[in-house]
Amino acid sequence: MRADNPDKPVIRPASGVQLFFVNRCVSTCLAGANGMDDSSQGALDQEWTPLQEAYIQKLMATYQANLLFFHERFPDVFENIMGAELPAPFEVDADGGLTIYSAGYKGDPKDYVDLSRILMDVFNNPKIRPRITVNHGYINNLHDVAPHQDYSFFHSYIEVEYRTKLVQKFLDLTSEEGRRLPLADFGDKKLPIAIVFGSGFGWHLDRLVDDYDLRHLLIVDTDIARLNLSLYFVDYISLAQRFSRKGFYFSVAYDESPEKLSDHLRVHFYNLWPPYCIQGAGMFFNDYDSEKVRELWDKLKTDLWTFYRGWGFLDDEILGLKHALDNCLARYPAYTRAPERPIPEDAMAFIIGAGPSLDHLLPLLREYRDRAVVFSCGTAISALARAGIRPDFHVEIERTALTNRFLAATLNESWKGEVPILGLSILPPEVFELTQHPLMFFKEMDVGAMVGNFFGEAPVFRSGPTCTNGGLALALRLGFRNIYLMGVDLGFRSEAHHHSKASVYFEGQSTVSPDLKKIVDITHKRHREANAREVEGNFGGKVFSTDTFTHSRDSMVISLRENPGAKVYNLNDGALIRGAEPLHAEDFTSAATPATRMEAIEAMLGAFTTSYDQDPLHSLAMMQEQLVAVREDVARILAPEVHEKMDIVERMFDLHHYFFADKHRSTQIFPLMRGSMLHMGRFLYDCMALCATDELAVEYATEAFGVIQNFLAAASDGLQDLADAARARQASDQGEQQ
């Protein structure tokens, strides 16, 4: 190898992928990775010694092999490396002496290994090892295991019983001193997940793979130069092969943006692991000094709560299933097809939420009321009723009795029966009885939707977590191309003004029922505590947000990406919603007319028919048959003996992937159980990891696996009770009609 002709590519893999790895890098190796000056130019005219050349060829061969490996396994990372102009980060002297350059530092291999040893000593000590720790305070307050037990509106409380049993067994087993750990631990040098921040020289990577029992090793880098350096010194092919002896996932991730990388990692983990397995994950910081690594870790810490959101649970699903049976048997019209006539191009939809911005947007809403199709969402109806602005449609998504109590108390007497209610099929039947124009739509991935839409022939909607998500999803699916969000703040400037002052949250209407008052009180409390989380504001700056609002915003972003043809405007001084254009009220203009509004309403009503499943009870019977098969499969998955905590981790991994397998996405029973298995899995995983020894963990898990199987049996009994009760109500109704 020579240092001449520096622009000529020297590697052309047989795969046909040209890797523009040039002799210029070799020149840099000889002259010094920290750049050449005029005095070193003469070195380029000298031939390398045989040892020097052989060593450089060895490093180049490792680099080339790693590039090919990354091209196959991590193509996005590969493209980033190839898109960067990076010199070789080392120089080799005539005697084979190696000097490595990284981020302004230089040293020989021993210097880099010595630093890694110090960091590895920290990681090897479980007491000081950086780790992800998720609060498990429910161990000291058993009530927190199932807080929905406080509410009187659920039909059954099956999950309360079995969640409590899972944790109580742990408490009983570890009641004696020394049998319970303060933090999750999986055994000596054993970890389900290890996250490495920074690659570099890579000595630490070999140690982690060879010395630890891991199931997922994730190498994360925000510095392309440091990642590029590792390709010369780490044999990634060998590393991955050695890891695969016991490990499941070997991953490398790169992005120069900590925010984008954080988002990528959250999706990555959620797709590969039960989200609760983030508990106790070990973190190796090979780069403490990088500002980007600190930003990445801060972002991950802030977003950890997203791993535990939106799971759902059996008691909630059974309540919705009960309501859906009654509503589908009543044959209320449901959204079953796209409107036969298209919505006029210039028609506009107003999606109204109860956010604080609604107060100053009411004049605009009142001015354009006769030209826009107005969708009132959830508690916004209380503010509209007080303002005397009647919506064209009212959207509801919540399955509890509070929905009925709230609407019955807040709807103007003159509106009752007249305002069409657009509700999920899982709403309490009493809600639809409040209107002469009941209209249903089906929620995606919801067992209550499936009793009326078993084979998925009708469209389904991303309708939560807030009613405004449902309103936006409906407007988009119906075909509106001009949509305006009002009172859809999803954030707030002041905790004293987190909702519209005219809404139920501030106008004393919460005295309607103790349950409603409790919800309002909890809402105020959550917003008072929310100022720890700031998000980007729609009109600049930062606003405060809550878990639910952030979830709602993220869900809206997905809906907007799926409908690029729609123009959606955000008029609120709340959270920025990517994909919705910020618009100040004073800049609002529209060509819509009262005629286009009426034409749009007539067109959209054509989407609602009774052409959905004729026999919901038959659909329920098929789900019951599926649950029998699920119970058999779960018994098989949990049957193999476990001997240590890592065996239990593998059982939980297998159980999770069974419930979330792609082949089960279209199987109707799984939405009933998925959320519950996440909750049950979370408690089991936490508790076994807090057992002081493998022996205690095995004893606990053996009993806990039995609790899970008994829980599934109780769920089966719960479905049978629903079927029997629905048949009895149906027979009673038919008798009254006769």
Q: Rounded CA gap, 573 and 544, in Å? A: 11
Q: Rounded CA gap, 417 and 398, in Å? A: 20
Question: Any idea which architecture 332-609 has in CATH?
Answer: Alpha-Beta Complex (3.90)
Q: Model confidence over 543-588: pLDDT tens digits?
A: 988 888 988 999 999 999 999 999 999 999 999 999 999 999 999 9
Q: Model confidence over 307-321: pLDDT tens digits?
A: 887 788 999 999 999
Q: Model confidence over 75-124: pLDDT tens digits?
A: 999 999 999 988 889 999 999 999 999 888 899 999 999 999 999 999 99
**Cβ burial 183-203 (10 Å sphere, 16+ → b, else e):** ebbbeeebbbbbbbbbbbbbb
Q: Kindly indicate the confidence band of residue 302, based on its pLDDT and cuts at 50, 70 and 90.
A: confident
Q: Among 40-49, 181-190, 668-677, whose mean pLDDT is lowest?
A: 40-49
Q: Kindly indicate the confidence band of residue 524, based on its pLDDT and cuts at 50, 70 and 90.
A: low
Contact 52, 99 (CB under 8 A): no
- pTM for the whole structure: 0.85
Question: How much is the pLDDT for 288?
Answer: 53
**What is the separation of C-alpha 485 from the centre of its chain, rounded to a whole number of angstroms?**
24
Q: What is the mean pLDDT of residues 597-601?
A: 98
Question: How much is the pLDDT for 696?
Answer: 98
Q: What is the mean pLDDT of residues 625-639?
A: 97
Q: What are phi and psi of 368, to 5 degrees?
A: -105, 10
Q: Rounded CA gap, 492 and 327, in Å? A: 37
Question: How much is the pLDDT for 519?
Answer: 66
Q: What is the mean pLDDT of residues 383-397?
A: 94
Contacting residues for 646 by C-beta, under 8 A, at least 6 apart? 186, 187, 190, 192, 213, 215
Q: What are phi and psi of 412, to 5 degrees?
A: -60, 145
Q: Rounded CA gap, 598 and 478, in Å? A: 14
Work out whether strand 334-335 and strand 372-377 pair parallel, antiparallel, or are unpaired. Answer: unpaired
Q: Rounded CA gap, 356 and 66, in Å? A: 54
Question: How much is the pLDDT for 512?
Answer: 54
Q: Kindly indicate the confidence band of residue 508, based on its pLDDT and cuts at 50, 70 and 90.
A: low
Collapsing DSSP states into helix, strand and coil, what is residue 193?
strand
Question: How much is the pLDDT for 494?
Answer: 77
Q: Rounded CA gap, 672 and 107, in Å? A: 58
Q: Which is more confident, 505 or 683?
A: 683
On the question of pLDDT at 61 being above 90, the answer is: yes
Work out whether strand 534-536 and strand 542-544 pair parallel, antiparallel, or are unpaired. Answer: antiparallel
Q: Model confidence over 235-289: pLDDT tens digits?
A: 999 999 999 998 999 999 998 888 888 887 888 887 889 999 999 999 999 865 5
DSSP-derived letter for residue 434 is T
On the question of pLDDT at 372 being above 70, the answer is: yes
Question: How much is the pLDDT for 521?
Answer: 67
Contact 707, 162 (CB under 8 A): yes
Q: Kindly indicate the confidence band of residue 407, based on its pLDDT and cuts at 50, 70 and 90.
A: confident
Distances (CA, A) of 614 to 190, 452, 459: 54, 8, 17
Q: Kindly indicate the confidence band of residue 2, based on its pLDDT and cuts at 50, 70 and 90.
A: very low
Radius of gyration of the chain from its Cα atoms, rounded to whole angstroms: 30
Q: In which residue are the tokens 């739509």 written?
A: 441
Work out whether strand 90-92 and strand 98-102 pair parallel, antiparallel, or are unpaired. Answer: antiparallel
Q: What is the mean pLDDT of residues 692-721?
A: 98
Q: What are phi and psi of 253, to 5 degrees?
A: -130, 140
The structural domains of the chain, with segments of one domain joined by +, span 23-107, 109-140+174-308, 332-609, 616-737
**What is the separation of C-alpha 611 from the centre of its chain, rounded to a whole number of angstroms?**
34
Q: Kindly indicate the confidence band of residue 529, based on its pLDDT and cuts at 50, 70 and 90.
A: low
Q: Kindly indicate the confidence band of residue 391, based on its pLDDT and cuts at 50, 70 and 90.
A: very high
Q: Which is more confident, 494 or 394?
A: 394
Q: What is the mean pLDDT of residues 331-354?
A: 96
Collapsing DSSP states into helix, strand and coil, what is residue 400?
coil
Residue type, 646: M
Average pLDDT of the chain is 88
Q: At what angle do helices 670-690 and 158-173 cross, to 10 degrees?
A: 10
Q: Rounded CA gap, 15 and 692, in Å? A: 52
Q: Among 165-169, 275-279, 717-721, whose mean pLDDT is lowest?
A: 275-279
Q: Rounded CA gap, 675 and 669, in Å? A: 12
Work out whether strand 105-107 and strand 98-102 pair parallel, antiparallel, or are unpaired. Answer: antiparallel
E strand segments, 180-300: 190-197, 213-221, 249-254, 282-285
DSSP-derived letter for residue 22 is B
Contacting residues for 649 by C-beta, under 8 A, at least 6 apart? 186, 192, 215, 277, 685
The span from the first CA to the last CA of the chain, in angstroms, equals 98
On the question of pLDDT at 44 being above 60, the answer is: no
Q: What is the mean pLDDT of residues 615-633?
A: 96
On the question of pLDDT at 41 being above 80, the answer is: no
Sign of CA dihedral 643, 644, 648, 654: negative
